[in-house]
Every structure is written in structure tokens, then in C-alpha cells.
């Protein structure tokens, strides 16, 4: 698989592909690829002619004391997995190539970035929006594929694409899960064996929320309370947040109403490992 490290070389390659009439599909990742990422790459394969997979652990989206330094990195393994899933080109820039000395331009999707993950991780979506805008300018994709696993990321990026007229189609792939329901994540490798046994409680709490809502519960508070009980009763996890929100605006809901798309989401810590998960429900 051809690997490109320099942004200007990737840009030149993308320009040549566009001149040749090729449809470019981008799959941005931070590497440490797993089944969720390969599902994105397989979906990308169906959407265009050239699938560009990016590997970049973006320092701008990590906060103080987060896992930037210890985030798993293995470019050889990632290249094999990416090409096996149908990737054509790997773009793996150095940090200094993306953020050279003097760098000072950031993209901020103002209100949506303050909710949920943004409230728990100040500056996170400023980092995400900035790097994705840069990747769009570097790889010039027609479409870009993201996972429902990071539901708020998709909502923020769709807003950015509309607001800045970026003209990139955003495609979303459902969350890939382990057999016991745990959402696949590069961070699952941090879990101790005991935490790994407990972690599926997060998905069970989401399923519980869905069952309650489908059987007529309309109080968001009651749903949050039931999920909280499920998680704290069944594990040692510390909850960061459990949220029932409008899936378009991310405004917290008090009462669920028919027709409104609902995002039920959560973040919880098993020791120092922070996991997120969500489900999308339309009443």
C-alpha cells in the first residue's frame, strides 16, 4: 500500500486523481485499527475510486492529562489492515508537518462543540474540526466516512461542512461491537481483564434505555436514572455523563416526543480508561 507522509505530496496526488476524474473517499483515523475502522474502509470502497485512509494521532484534540502520549501506534499493522479492507493510499503525516512552528489557525463549531463530549473534554472538537478541515484540504475527498460510535463528532462535522461550504459528503457507518456488545475502540486495549468483563454494561445500559423508550417511557430523567443504576449496579465504572438529547441540536431533553430523533449517549471511566458509546432512536 502506498504511504504518503507529506501533506503537499498528498495534495498533489489528490489533485492528479481529481484531474483524472477519480472519486476520492477519505477515512480519517488515529490508527490502532480495529473492526470498526475496517468497516469504514469497506464502506468507503463502495463509494468511490480511491480510498485514502489517514493515520494521525491529533494532539489538538487531546486535553491535558489525556492519553495522547500512550495512544497505541503501529503503522505497519495498520497498513496491512487498511489495505486488506480495501484502502488504496495511506496518509500518515508527522505532527510537525500538520502543525509546524507558528501554527495558529483553528476551526471552532461553536455551540455543538460545548455539549456532551465537548463539556467533558474542553477544546476536543476544536481539535477534531481543525484536523478534519485540514485533511479535507489535503486529500480533497468527494466523500468522507465516519463512525456512529463518535455520534457528536459526526454532528459537529456535518455542521462544519455546511457552515464552511466544504462540499464533502459525510457518510456514517453503524457502530461495530464485540460479541458481548462492547463498542470496538482503540482504547479497549487499556482495559484490565476484570474491566473488560465489566465494560459491556455500557451497551446493556443503552439497550435498557431503548427498551424503556420503546415501551412508552417519555421522561428523559427516568431513562437516565435507569441507565445510571444499570452501570453503577453492574460495574466499578465512574460515569462522566449519561445523556438523552435531541439528536440534531444535542439539546438535553426533558420529555421525549414522537418524531424527534433521540441520541442516548454516555461516557464512563474504568480506572483511567474512558469509554464512550451511544444509540440513536427515532420514535
Active site residues: 37
Instruction: Report in angstroms how near the CB of residue 178 gets to ligand AMP at its nearest.
Output: 9
Q: Which is nearer to ligand AMP, 186 or 265 (CB)?
A: 186
The set of cell numbers assigned to 16 is 492528479
146's enclosing H/E stretch is: strand 143-147
Alpha-helical regions (H) of 27-113: 35-45, 75-84, 95-98
Q: Which is nearer to ligand AMP, 40 or 247 (CB)?
A: 40
Instruction: Report in angstroms how near the CB of residue 280 gets to ligand AMP at its nearest.
Output: 13
Site residues (vs ligand AMP, CB under 6 A): 29-30, 36-37, 39-40, 146-147, 149-150, 173, 175-176, 183-186
Instruction: Report in angstroms how near the CB of residue 38 gets to ligand AMP at its nearest.
Output: 9
> Cα–Cα distances in Å, from 173 out to 26, 99, 150, 158?
13, 29, 10, 14
How far from chain centre, in Å, is Cα 48?
Answer: 21
Task: Report yes or no: 150 and 183 within 8 Å, Cβ to Cβ.
Answer: no
Please compute, for residue 171, the number of CA atoms within 13 A of its CA located in the half-sphere on the CB side. Answer: 20
279's enclosing H/E stretch is: strand 273-282
- How far is residue 13's CA from residue 140's CA, in Å, rounded to a whole number? 10
Q: Which is nearer to ligand AMP, 183 or 209 (CB)?
A: 183
Instruction: Report in angstroms how near the CB of residue 193 gets to ligand AMP at its nearest.
Output: 20
The set of cell numbers assigned to 168 is 464533502
By the 10 Å C-beta count (0-12 exposed, 13-18 middle, 19+ buried), 139 is classed as buried
Q: Which is nearer to ligand AMP, 40 or 160 (CB)?
A: 40
Q: Which is nearer to ligand AMP, 230 or 277 (CB)?
A: 277
- How far is residue 206's CA from residue 202's CA, in Å, rounded to a whole number? 7
Instruction: Report in angstroms how near the CB of residue 23 gets to ligand AMP at its nearest.
Output: 19
Amino acid at each position: 500500500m502506498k504511504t504518503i507522509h507529506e501533506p503537499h505530496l498528498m495534495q498533489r496526488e489528490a489533485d492528479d486523481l481529481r484531474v483524472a476524474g477519480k472519486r476520492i473517499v477519505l477515512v480519517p483515523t488515529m490508527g490502532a485499527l480495529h473492526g470498526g475502522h475496517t468497516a469504514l474502509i469497506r464502506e468507503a470502497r463502495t463509494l468511490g475510486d480511491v480510498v485514502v485512509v489517514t493515520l494521525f494521532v491529533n494532539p489538538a484534540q487531546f486535553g491535558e492529562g489525556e492519553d495522547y502520549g500512550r495512544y497505541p501506534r503501529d503503522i505497519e499493522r495498520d497498513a496491512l489492515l487498511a489495505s486488506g479492507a480495501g484502502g488504496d493510499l495511506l496518509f500518515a503525516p508527522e505532527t510537525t508537518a500538520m502543525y509546524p512552528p507558528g501554527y495558529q489557525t483553528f476551526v471552532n463549531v461553536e455551540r455543538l462543540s460545548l455539549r456532551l463530549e465537548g463539556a467533558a473534554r474542553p477544546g476536543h472538537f476544536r481539535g477534531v474540526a481543525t484536523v478534519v478541515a485540514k485533511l479535507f484540504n489535503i486529500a480533497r475527498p468527494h466523500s468522507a466516512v465516519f463512525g456512529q460510535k463518535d455520534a457528536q463528532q459526526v454532528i459537529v462535522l456535518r455542521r462544519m461542512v455546511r457552515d464552511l461550504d466544504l462540499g464533502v459528503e459525510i457518510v456514517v457507518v453503524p457502530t461495530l461491537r464485540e460479541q458481548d456488545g462492547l463498542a470496538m475502540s482503540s482504547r479497549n486495549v487499556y482495559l484490565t481483564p476484570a474491566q473488560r468483563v465489566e465494560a459491556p454494561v455500557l451497551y446493556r445500559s443503552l439497550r435498557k434505555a431503548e427498551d424503556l423508550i420503546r415501551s412508552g417511557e417519555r421522561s428523559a430523567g427516568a431513562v437516565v436514572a435507569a441507565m445510571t443504576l444499570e452501570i453503577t449496579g453492574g460495574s466499578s465504572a465512574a460515569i462522566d455523563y449519561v445523556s438523552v438529547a435531541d439528536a440534531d441540536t444535542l439539546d438535553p431533553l426533558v420529555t421525549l416526543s414522537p418524531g424527534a430523533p433521540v441520541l442516548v449517549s454516555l461516557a464512563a471511566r474504568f480506572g483511567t480508561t474512558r469509554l464512550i458509546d451511544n444509540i440513536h432512536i427515532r420514535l
